[in-house]
Structures are given as structure tokens and as C-alpha cells.
Structure 1
Amino acid sequence: MQLYNSLSNTERATLIQEAGKDRLTISFYKYFKISNPESFRNSFFLFLDSIDVLGRIYIASEGINAQMSIPADQFKVFKEHLDTINFLNNVRLNIAIEQNNFSFLKLKVKVRGKIVSDGLNDDNFDPSDIGTHVNASEFNSLIEDENTLVVDMRNHYESEIGHFKNAVTPNVDTFRESLDLIEEDLKSYKKTKKLVMYCTGGIRCEKASAYYKHKGFKNVYQLEGGIINYARQVAAEELENKFIGKNFVFDQRRAEKISEDIIASCHQCGEPADIHVNCANDACHLLFIQCDSCKKSMENCCSSNCMKVNKLPAKVQKSLRMGQGNSNDIFKKGRAGHLSHNKNLRNIHNSLPKT
């Protein structure tokens, strides 16, 4: 019984191309106490694999977090199966705004300690005591209220290319980093302001809203379904779109266009740009924003040094990487000092309101 992915990205892409069938990119999450995450993981993997689902799914004792690509003609089968699982019956499925058959090229179902790393170890914290969910229309009204603080619960490289108007966008690398930072900087507003949060699909806000209620914030709200669901509601109900730029997503697409605005700039030359790439040098693989001009002149690399390495024969590159592990730049998500036009090389408190 095979319980793991066995094909490379190239092999899988070829199979998708040859199949010639449309696929749907979707995501969903659910906080729920799973008694045996490993057993659930194995049975869920077998089902997903049987209908050619690809994606990244995290399972923990606290629930499930899933992003995946599903053959369009298998969507009904997939949904019917979810409905047979008690805690996933009628779970909200966020269907991507922009579809791409190659959004995921492997099936990875992993058991983790938590479905979202939060760094919290507080026995008195009740993650089920969440804030008030609001739809797109309600969200638009709330963020126009002068007594509202709208907070982006995503990381700096996500909000850099797109965010809601007037949102607080903490310059952080991780969700766990943002929780205490926001609580500390906004603590004087706990009883006087409405705290309205948003993220990509809702999962981070679900936990953050409960956390801030636990910390004493009296009026806590969260955008239901996140930016993905907001964009769909705006289009369906012909509402004013208050999101500017692109929504960063964690798959091969990297982003979905929500508005025509380009609010970011190339990390190498400073010209308007909002396309994230990974450095072509596999020993670096740094995530950063690069315009078409720099992409051409820098040959898909983040630095002249990486260009030199990337021109070496593959065997030589592999030997240079041997025993070195991955470059720390991979995890800096664009913070490398040689990217002189990266506006996120700043103090993490700069984007928070002063009390």
C-alpha cells in the first residue's frame, strides 16, 4: 500500500498535459479535535490519490488545512466523500479566482503538531471562542468605520503585493511572530476599537480572533473565507472592491489578481512589479519580486553570484551544494540584503499604528 507521492514535478506535469482535462484549485480548513491524525491521514491520502487529487494537506489533532488541485470531473465525488466525514460535512470550499491546471504537482498529506504554526502554549486559551464572521458587504462597511482597525494577518511578502485599503500590514515573516506583536502594539485599543482581521482563506484569522478575544479585545471580527471568498462575493454581488493588488497564494500560481493595481516594486531595480519568483540557483532559491527586465538581464537569478553558479554544469552545482544544506535565504522571503529595492528591509513595528 503506497502512502506517499512517487512522481517528480516534471513527470506529473506531463501526465496532466497528456490527460487534457481541466482541474480546479480549491482550499479549505476546519478546526476539529481529530483523535488519531495518523490514521485519518492515511485513509484520506488513499482516497485523494484514487481520484488524482494533488496538493498540500496538513492534519493535526486540532484539525485539517488543505490546498489542492482536483480534476474537475471528480469534484462531485470529492465533495460527496467530504460530506461523509462528520466534521467536514458542508465545509466551506474556497475555489480559486484564477484557475491553473498545474497549481499543484504532487500530493503531500502530512501530520503536524498544528495545522497553523502559532507558537502558543496557553492551557487557558480556547481556540473555539472565535470572533464574529463577516461577509464582504459587512466587511466593507466595517473598514469604513473610523473606530475600526483592519489588520492583515499574513506575512510581509504576501501583503507587499496586495492588501485592503488602510490595513495594518505587519512586516513579519511568520504568523506566530505577528500574534504577540499586534497584541502589544494595539493593546490600548482593546475596548475602544473594532478589530477586523483578514487573511488568504480564513484559517489564520480563525485562530487569531480567538487569541485576541482571550487577550481582552472586546470587538473582534474576521473576514469569512478570507480574500478568496471576498473576491468572489464582490464579483457576484457587484460590491465595491476594497482590495488593491494581488492575493498571494501558496501554490505554483503564486498569486491571483484581485484588482489591476500594481502596488509593489521589483526588488532589484525598483520599477513597478508584483510577480514573485524563486532564484534559479537551486542553492539559493530565494523568493523575491522581479520585473521582466531584470528577469532577462539577471537570467532568473537574484544576484550576480547566483548567475555565475547557475551557469555551471549541473553536476558541478550539485557538488557545490553537497553537505551545505539549504541557504538561509530561502526562509528570508525576500529579505536578503543585496535586494536593495526591497521595502520590507525595515523594523517590523513600522507598519503598526502608534499609541
Structure 2
Amino acid sequence: MAYHKLPWKRNFQKVPAHIEAGLAEIDGELVVIAATKRIARADIERGIYAHVGLRAADGAITTAGPVLPPADYGKWSERNAFGWDRKRTDWPKVTKTYVFETPNFGDAATYGTHMHVWEREVYQHQVFEPQGMMVESEVLQDNGGDDVAIKFTLTPFLERGQPEFELMLLWSLNVLQENTGTIGVFKADATRDDYVSTIMLDWQIFPPGTVDEVIERLTQRPANPSNAPDFDEHVRDRVQLFAQLNPTAYIRGQGGFGSYFGAQFADDLVVFENLKYGNAVYVLYQDWDTITQRSRYELLRDQDADFDRIIHSDDWKERLAKLLNRKLRERGLGRQGRGLFSR
């Protein structure tokens, strides 16, 4: 079957690490395969999500009930719709007997036939009937702007004790991924706020102070499992760096995409970094609190966000300092730094 072309990664070969981490935090037996995604209104209007019942009409976003994903959106969706005959090369072979009739002396009409029996070792097959997993869309937030927050839920729920749980988990995740471009796991009694929190950052803003004072304020919150293992070390390094440029405030954000840390230098000038990934810093300008609600993948993809991205190469701190000093001068704030990296 020729599969539909997708604007996102099609599927996964194994359960992603962040899903395993999420499962470890769920105590109950029932697991919900679901995710919340911030989607451009224009993408909905173009029909990119119409196959899962998500449409735009007269400026409003509408959803259908649970929808069976089309079979041509990927191999896991195809298996979901038509079933799956899985050859188990990891199981021991079994003996299979083949019986067929052959002519005597090559002439069945004259000499008749005889039965021939042939035995051979073959792999076993595991047959799965069509699973009928369905995707249900729900609008969580729509303020009339350029994008909306949509929750995608896959039914039925998974039960940890069910046969082949790991395989069914991977299958379910891939059905959701193929059809929506996002995945996640939640407990069965997750609330609406639980889903919204995965795309909304909880920002805390701290006043400047000594390096030790700032670090104490920023690290006093309970650790999140998605934080970088050397979170405190990262924070100290960044505070020492930012302190040389006299920020007006430090910011800490916690949300579904990991832990963020940064500094504010003006109302429209903020530097922040996702400490879970830590391969670049972002210098944001207008509407920074809105832009930071996007994942790093959305930031890299979107062209409308006003920001600069500085990859952590050997001289990234020097390049960041030069950029910040230039942006401060443009805002009439002069050179606020104390000769950062000056020779």
C-alpha cells in the first residue's frame, strides 16, 4: 500500500525514552495514549487534520467523534484497520506438514496419482485481528489566534496486565503518531489541566541578586524527571554568564517540553534555553512569553517567530554577548555588561 505523505515523522521503531519515563510516573493499571498539540489554524483550514475529524469552518474549529484512522497513513494504521500477520522469528520454529498429490510416472490420466508428504521447520506466525483503535480530537484552547491547542486521544485505553502490553503500547503510539504527529501517555483519570499543562509553561520570574542567591531561588522547586541530570551545574554556569550583562530578571519555566531557564534584559529581550536538550540558546524579542510556549521543534520549523538561535559551538558565549549588547544599544539601554569577554 502506498502511504499518505506526512508533514511529520511517521513512526517509531521502539518506545521513546520520554514515554517510558512518563509510564514510570503512572501508578494505575490503565494507560491513556494521548497528547496535546499546538496547531496552526492554517494547517487545520488546509485539511491536514481532517482525517481525524478536525476541521475549520467560519473561523471556528470543529471536531467529530472518535474516527478510525485511514489505513494509508502508515503501516501501523494499516495493521490497525486490516489486522497483522506477524512472523515471529524470535519464537522457536515448528514442524509443518505439507501434503500434495503428484501424478504417477508423470501421467495421472493413465497411471493415477499418489499422495506426497513433506515436512519442514517453519517460523510461527502471530495473527492479530484488526484492532479498531480510534482517534478523538478535542479543542482545549482557541482564543481566535493563529494557533489552537488540540488534545488527541486514542481509544481504547491500554491495561498494563494485558497480553503483549509492550507491543500494543508501541502499536498505539505509532497509530497516534502517524495520524497526528504527536504522542504522549497519561493516567486514566488525568484532568483537563493535566493535558493543558503539557503545552503551557509555568513561568516564575526572580529578581536579580548575587549568583548564589539566584541559584538558590531557581533550584528550590522540586526536580522534574525531564530535567537535565546536571541541572544545578547548568544553572550556575548560565547565571554567572548572564550576571555579567546585568539582567533585569531571571526566569524559570516548567512544562511538558522540559525545564527552561533564562534571563530578561528588557520587556522585549529575553534569553532562554531548554536545559533538557541544551544544544542552543534562544534570544527572543516580541511576545516572548507566547513564543516560549512552543516546543523547540516548532521553533525550528516556524518562520513567524521573532528570535535568534545560537548553537553551542566553542564561541557561543562570545557571540551571545555581542548580540545582546547590540540589541541593548538598539533599545537605547547602552552597554549594560561589565566588559564581558573583553580583552
Task: Confirm or deny a common fold (TM above 0.5).
Answer: no
User: Which has the larger share of strand?
Assistant: 2
Based on CA coordinates, which of the two structures has the bigger radius of gyration? 2
The normalised TM-score by structure 1 is 0.26
Choose between structure 1 and 2 for higher RCO, CA contacts under 8 A separated by at least 6 residues: 2
